Amino acid sequence: MAHVRLSHVTKTFTRHAGRRLARQFLADWRRRSGGDRYTALEDVSFTLGQGESLGVVGPNGAGKSTLLSLVAGLTAPDSGQVEVSGRLVPLLELGSGYHPDLTGAENVRLNAAVMGFTRRRARELFDRVVEFSGIGESIHEPLRTYSSGMVMRLAFSTSIHVDPEILLIDEVLAVGDQAFRAKCMEKVFEVQRNGTLLLCVSHDLDVLERLCDRVIWLAGGQVASYDRAPAVLEAYRQHVGVKSGPSPVAGP
């Protein structure tokens, strides 16, 4: 059975990663200190199994995206265990890996392969992906001629049709126009009904309320609260000063 289990996971990053000089690198290596570090996540534990959906809320920089990267296995924790079993699809940043000079169709095929489709499944699902995206004939035009909304629609359609057992969603439900957004939500609910586990980061608390059983509230890399969705969301709303119900500042 598909499940995700994190126990006492801590993740730190080196400051200035990627632009250090060899001199500093050697100094750090000699001291074995790893240099100037900051903690993105500290002692995070949760379990997700059996058709559950978990939401993640928190201010920018609280460690929400880091959490999803860890679950996706894109980055490794400094301590603690990340245990994932099942076909996992991360929907972290729509349109990443898409190339403007390739046509929509070529991009769909490429990303189908990247997300783990087999050649045959990619062929089978191609028409459904294109139909869902509503791109129509433009599918054979280079991606650079698309509007940004169209790119997002195509990217969402490809990802959602991969048929995941575990779906990680990072702020990608606010895609395209109102009609397409509603279609996306409907599709996510359908995927959820079919037993896919959801791990969903969003600033749209109403979306989380509809989608998730439980919610983690992250603050400064630590779990501030982890409980049933209505309770955590209510507390979070009060904390950030947003009234319940449709709110003017919902969304990213």
Partner 1 sequence: MWRRDYFFLMAQLVARDFKIRYRNMSLGIFWSLLNPLVMMAVLTFVFTRLFPGNPIRHFHVFVLTGLVPYGFFALAWATATRALLDNPSLIKRVCLPREIVPIATVLANGVHFLIQIGLLVLLALAAGYGVNRYWLWLPVVLGLELVFVSGLSLASSALDVYFRDTRYVVDSTNLLLFWMVPIFYSFEAIPAAYHTFYQLNPIAAVVLACRNVLLEAKAPPASLLTKLTFVSLAALVLGWGIFARLKRRFADYL
**Residues interacting with partner 1, by CB under 8 A?**
13-14, 17-19, 22, 25, 69, 72-76, 86-88, 90, 92-93, 96-97, 99, 101-102, 106, 109-110, 113-119, 122, 142
Closer of 13 and 226 to partner 1 (Cβ): 13
Closer of 14 and 222 to partner 1 (Cβ): 14
Closer of 39 and 247 to partner 1 (Cβ): 39
Whole-number minimum distance, CB 160 to partner 1, in Å? Answer: 15
Nearest CA to 151 out of 119, 103, 117 is that of 103
Give dist(CA 147, CA 157) in Å, integer: 16
Whole-number minimum distance, CB 19 to partner 1, in Å? Answer: 8
Nearest CA to 71 out of 95, 50, 94, 54 is that of 54
Whole-number minimum distance, CB 196 to partner 1, in Å? Answer: 14
> Quick check: 214 and 245 in contact, CB under 8 A?
no
Whole-number minimum distance, CB 45 to partner 1, in Å? Answer: 22
A 10 A CB-CB count for 245 gives: 9
Whole-number minimum distance, CB 248 to partner 1, in Å? Answer: 31
Q: What is the dihedral of CA 170, 175, 180, 183, to 10 degrees?
A: 0
Q: What is the dihedral of CA 64, 69, 70, 74, to 10 degrees?
A: -170
